[in-house]
């Protein structure tokens, strides 16, 4: 499957709440964790085996367990030693944590997912034991199913042949839940080799039940790379043929593969999914002091109101920090449209996040506010800047540094920026910078962009410009 088609389809699945993720060891290796073969190398050496010659790795772990008369101390220590805590997770985990996905599955033992979701200030309901499945945490943002256990409980991980053969008796709930979700959700497999016996059994069961009518799933897989040295071409040709046949075979289970050459392409694809999803949301940034010039304040409110109305008319979600002047007026404009609908869905149409006046304990306020802004802006595809003024210690108006920081975040994230320069303040400064760089928003000509800073610019002019930008973003390929 080509990337463009995948991005469009899976972003739509996320938006509908029907997407799930399955994380394999390949994604964790980027954090320095071992794959299964590397993990078991020392044990294989002790047994007198060459790990590179072994195809049944669960059997290698089982042989060690047999020698220890069933005691798992050595295997448990192996897990603890090879999966120490990390200071940070690879970027792919952070992107996934920002996506509004409810169900995440993994066969990994590590805690990288927990780290990334926690760093994004999201709560995970972690289920690594069978009994965990009956204990729900309704306040959690997502559920992480660690179907092979966790480094937190090293004596209970699935690693040896016994663990796989007795899986349906010891961990029946995981297969039952996974089967249900595999029928109703669209999974994206990342860093997954598809050699796990439990998954193979699941695929066979699903295919038996649905034959050719099962749901569509996706996997991002790496193509074979040509090596060096004698016989490199022959090996590459063989691996390429095997890879092509394997990709074709996965289609029997409804799994469409998106192929990449390098691991960093996974991050690029996930960012594109995030952006495609974000395009249905528009962030309105700005501020205007309550005791500012009355005439200017009325114009800023009028502009904010028509921007909010245009966002709602186009079926977009308004995202705002809900300030007193700009935020409240934009919200009023959006609600005038939303509440006219027969069955208004405020959760789908609005995301309001008023700024806290205090940072959490042990977190600097500046860092906290930046992360808070990033959290809002990363969920949007378009960022509209209106005014951006505040009162200084001498009672005079000045540029709002918070609004300027939001512009920097939006620019760094590659979002479409639309500054309404005629409202003054930070928006005017941003407009000048973009005009000097000839960085006009998509959908607007140089003249149309210039109109947004004209002294005779009207609220209606702003509304037309916003509508053109939204239409252009929707049509952008």
- Helices of type H across 1-133: 3-16, 25-28, 36-39, 41-47, 57-67, 73-82, 91-98, 112-119
Q: Confirm if 289 and 389 have CB atoms less than 8 A apart.
A: yes
Q: Which of 54-71 are b and which e, b meaning 16 or more Cβ less than 10 Å from the residue's Cβ?
A: eeebbebbbbbbeeeeee
- How far apart are alpha carbons 439 and 249 in whole angstroms? 46
Are β-strands 317-320 and 389-391 bridged in parallel, bridged antiparallel, or unpaired? Answer: unpaired
DSSP track, 112-157 = HHHHHHHHTT--EEEE-SGGGGG---TT-SEEEEETT--TTSGGG-
Query: Catalytic: which of 94, 103, 148, 217?
Result: 148
Q: Please report which helix (H) or strand (E) contains residue 432, including its range.
A: helix 425-436
Q: Smallest Cα–Cα separation from 464: which of 447, 331, 475, 339? A: 447
- How far apart are alpha carbons 2 and 36 in whole angstroms? 30
Per the structure block, which two tokens stand in for 31? Answer: 């954090």
Per the structure block, which two tokens stand in for 393? Answer: 């210690």
- Whether 148 is catalytic is yes
DSSP track, 317-333 = EEEE---TTHHHHHHHH
- How far apart are alpha carbons 272 and 17 in whole angstroms? 18
Q: Residue 277 to residues 49, 133, 151, 381, 426: CA-CA distances in angstroms?
A: 49, 30, 33, 8, 28
- How far apart are alpha carbons 63 and 181 in whole angstroms? 34
Per the structure block, which two tokens stand in for 365? Answer: 């306020």
Q: Which residues carry out catalysis? A: 148
């Amino acid at each position: 499957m080509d990337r463009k088609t995948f991005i469009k389809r899976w972003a739509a699945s996320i938006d509908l709440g029907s997407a799930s993720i399955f994380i394999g060891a390949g994604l964790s290796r980027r954090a320095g964790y071992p794959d299964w073969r590397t993990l078991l190398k020392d044990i294989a050496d002790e047994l007198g085996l060459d790990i590179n010659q072994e195809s049944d790795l669960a059997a290698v772990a089982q042989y060690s367990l047999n020698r220890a008369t069933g005691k798992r101390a050595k295997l448990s220590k192996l897990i603890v030693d090879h999966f120490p805590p990390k200071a940070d997770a690879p970027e792919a985990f952070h992107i996934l944590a920002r996506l509004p996905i409810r169900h995440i599955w993994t066969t990994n033992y590590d805690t990288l997912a927990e780290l990334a979701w926690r760093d994004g200030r999201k709560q995970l309901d972690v289920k690594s034991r069978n009994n965990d499945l009956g204990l729900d945490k309704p306040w959690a943002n997502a559920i992480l199913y660690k179907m092979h256990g966790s480094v937190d409980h090293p004596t209970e991980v699935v690693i040896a042949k016994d663990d796989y053969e007795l899986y349906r008796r010891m961990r029946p709930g995981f297969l039952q839940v996974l089967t249900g979700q595999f029928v109703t959700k669209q999974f994206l497999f990342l860093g997954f080799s598809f050699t796990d016996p439990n998954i193979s059994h699941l695929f066979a069961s699903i295919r038996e039940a649905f034959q050719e009518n099962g749901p569509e799933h996706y996997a991002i897989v790496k193509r074979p790379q040509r090596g060096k040295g004698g016989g490199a071409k022959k090996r590459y040709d063989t691996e390429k043929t095997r890879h092509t046949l394997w990709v074709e075979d996965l289609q029997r289970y409804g799994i469409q593969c998106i192929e990449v050459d390098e691991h960093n392409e996974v991050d690029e694809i996930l960012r594109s999914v995030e952006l495609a999803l974000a395009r249905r949301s528009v962030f309105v940034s700005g501020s205007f002091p309550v005791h500012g010039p009355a005439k200017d304040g009325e114009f800023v409110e009028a502009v904010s109101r028509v921007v909010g109305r245009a966002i709602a008319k186009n079926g977009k979600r308004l995202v705002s920090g809900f300030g007193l002047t700009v935020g409240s007026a934009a919200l009023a404009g959006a609600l005038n449209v939303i509440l006219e609908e027969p069955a208004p869905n405020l959760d789908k149409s609005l995301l309001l996040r008023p700024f806290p006046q205090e940072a959490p304990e042990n977190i600097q306020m500046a860092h906290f506010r930046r992360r808070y802004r990033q959290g809002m802006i990363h969920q949007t595809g378009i960022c509209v800047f209106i005014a951006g003024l505040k009162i200084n210690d001498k009672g005079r108006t000045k540029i709002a540094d918070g609004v300027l920081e939001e512009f920097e975040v939006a620019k760094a994230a590659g979002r479409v920026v639309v500054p309404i320069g005629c409202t003054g303040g930070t928006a005017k400064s941003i407009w000048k910078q973009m005009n000097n760089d000839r960085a006009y928003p998509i959908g607007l000509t140089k003249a149309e962009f210039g109109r947004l800073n004209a002294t005779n610019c009207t609220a209606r002019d702003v509304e037309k410009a916003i509508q053109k930008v939204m239409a252009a973003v929707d049509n952008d390929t």
